[in-house]
Amino acid sequence: MTPADRVLRDALRHQAVRATLLALVTTADAAAVLLLPAALGHTLDLLLAGEPATAALTGAAALLAALFLLDAVETVLTGTTTAHATARLRTRLIGHLLAVGPAGAARFSRGDLVTRATALAAQSGTAPGAVAALLASCALPLGGLTALVLIDWRLAGTFLLGVPLLALVLRAFTRRTGDTVERYLRLQGEIAGRFTETLAGARTIAAAGTLRRERGRVLAALPELSREGHRLWRVQGRSNAQAAVLVPLLQTAVVATGGLLLVAGELSVGTLLAATRYAALAAGIGVLTGRLAALVRARRSGARLAEVHAVPVAPHGTKPLPPGPGRLELRRVSAVRGGRTVLDGVDLTVPGGTTVAVVGRSGSGKSELARLAGKLTEPDHGEVLLDGVPLSEADPAALRRAVGYAFERPALLGGTLAGTIGFGPLPPPDPERITRAARAACADTFVRTLPHGYDTPCADVPLSGGEIQRLGLARAFTHRGRLLILDDATSSLDTATERQVTEALLNGDRPGTRLLVAHRAATAARADLVAWLEAGRLRALAPHARLWQEPDYRAVFAAGPEPADA
């Protein structure tokens, strides 16, 4: 079983009841379709013979009414089954993306992930309905052929002469459609990924005046996408054209054979009418190609979802974290990202309850170290421990409660500004704690100027980079765990605001350990220790005052004499 089939099997299993009902309804519909020609043929024979046909007419009318009712039920069941299967696929996909963490999700572009979670999940969600419909579609040709055998074996024999050609048309259609759909979906994801990148850099593009060039880059794959789309329609059109030639020939051959039997007195007019209809059902390649195309698209879309599910989930254990001050240890930690060694054999111990500033030139591995310290990514070698417990063995819920983060570009989650500040593990902080955290992050003043204050929806207010960072810092201040990591979280603040925030962070009553990615000497000076990274290695771990004697260390801050407050 392919990964795509496993993804679709899960959706089918989750919708087993609805899919079973749908299969029963479609089967009943197919049975009614197969019974109708016989009923109409029998009615015609009675009318031609001048015999009473009321019961036969009533039976035919009942079959027609049943077809209308079954079609309506089939439509409702197909829609609900597809909707629930799509919801299941999207829930699993998003859950897996959250489980693999930022590093795993980064293997795909944002636009590509959005495409997979929306359009492709919806296409894959049609699989249960497509399978049920395909079963019914297969029942019709088989039932039509069986009916021909029951009417007269010579009619069935005439039809069977063209079955190998029908099988070849179906086989070629399925293979060509699958390849074309796969290329089409890949190109669709590429365009979506580039478009998302363009939206993120809209200001830069406008300022550089490169709109035309960027539009060309985003739509570069559009001609190839168009070719694949046209190829898909050509494949389906060619199959339909071949069927349009072959099916009438088969029907004509069956009707001609039936006509000879009619002349010989071996068939009645009504039976010939029924045989003609059964020949059309037995040769129903047009219905089969449509059903097969839907199933092929669902499987190819499922293959794109399976690529995301193939990304391994970050390992975690069940060990609880023992009581501790937040002692952080990195033992021979190495990390390779994009073929480049970002961290190389780093040994670092951060004593519990201390503040350590991580400094270094751009590309030295500061942010990677910050991600590893809180298990937002995994090392390629070595291990990270918190109070003696390897992070790979720690209970994930306990770890998230123990480690708090503030980022350079925090996401405004939580709906309102208060929800954003209090966003984190349950239970949420009370309003008083949210207000104190906002004051410590210098966010309370601008929040209170808004019409709805802390209840202002995040989407309704434009915020500067510094204001967004202050909200992210306020969220970090609400965290009461044993380790707080600030990954360049003050880079958009002015010097005076950064100093106030740092003072509140270091001199407040917040317990635990603090790890700060710092770019300013003043911030490093207020830390207990400085971890100096250079080219992915730990060059020194010492107080800022001692390191300041090193010219190379001072060059990290591009500074001359030491600042007065350092």
Domains of the chain: which residue ranges? 3-309, 328-556
Q: Would you list the DSSP string of 469-521?
A: HHHHHHHHHH--SSEEEEESTTTTS-HHHHHHHHHHHHHSS--SEEEEE--SH
What pLDDT is recorded for position 542?
93
pLDDT value of residue 1:
66
Cβ–Cβ under 8 Å, residues 332 and 382: yes
3-309 CATH fold: ABC transporter transmembrane region fold (1.20.1560)
Q: How far apart are CA 17 and CA 23, in angstroms?
A: 10
| pLDDT score, position 245 | 63
Determine if residue 488 is left, alpha or beta; phi over 0 gives left, psi from -120 to 50 gives alpha, anything else beta.
left
pLDDT of residue 466: 86
Q: Which CATH architecture has domain 328-556?
A: 3-Layer(aba) Sandwich (3.40)
User: Are the C-beta atoms of 443 and 473 separated by less than 8 Å?
Assistant: yes
Would you tell me how many other CB atoms lie within 10 Å of the CB of residue 260?
12
**Whose CA is closest to 458, among 408, 409, 412, 407?**
412
Please report the DSSP string for 320-376 in residue order: PPPS-S--EEEEEEEEEETTEEEEEEEEEEE-TT-EEEEE-STTSSHHHHHHHHTTS
CA 331/CA 343 separation, integer angstroms: 12
Residue 436 CA: distances (Å) to CA of 123, 490, 492: 48, 18, 21
For 452, the 3-state DSSP assignment is: coil
Instruction: Look up tokens 């306020």; give the residue.
Output: 474
**Burial environment of residue 432 by CB neighbours within 10 A (0 to 12, 13 to 18, 19 or more):** exposed
Q: What is the pLDDT along the chain (566 residues), one digit of tens a residue?
A: 677 788 888 888 888 888 888 888 888 888 888 888 888 888 888 888 888 888 888 988 998 999 899 989 988 998 898 999 999 999 999 888 888 877 788 888 888 888 888 888 888 888 888 887 777 777 777 888 788 888 888 888 887 777 677 667 666 666 667 677 777 877 877 888 788 778 777 777 777 788 888 888 888 888 888 888 888 777 767 666 666 666 677 777 878 888 888 888 888 888 888 888 888 777 665 566 667 777 888 888 888 889 898 888 877 888 999 998 899 999 999 999 878 899 999 999 999 989 999 999 988 999 999 999 989 888 999 999 999 999 989 998 888 889 988 888 888 887 888 888 888 776 778 888 889 888 888 888 888 888 888 888 888 888 888 888 888 888 888 887 899 998 888 777 888 888 888 877 777 656 689 999 988 888 888 889 999 999 899 999 999 999 999 899 999 887 444 443 43
Dihedral (C-alpha) 124, 128, 129, 133: value to the nearest 10 degrees?
Answer: 120
Question: What pLDDT score was predicted for residue 426?
Answer: 65
pLDDT, position 221: 84
What pLDDT is stored for residue 562 in this prediction? Answer: 42
pLDDT of residue 560: 40
- Candidates 527, 531, 466; CA nearest to 502 is 527
What confidence score (pLDDT) does residue 248 get? Answer: 72
Residue 489, φ and ψ in degrees, nearest 5: -80, 0
| Cα–Cα distance for residue pair 67/42, rounded to 1 Å | 19
Strands (E) in 33-188, as ranges, are none
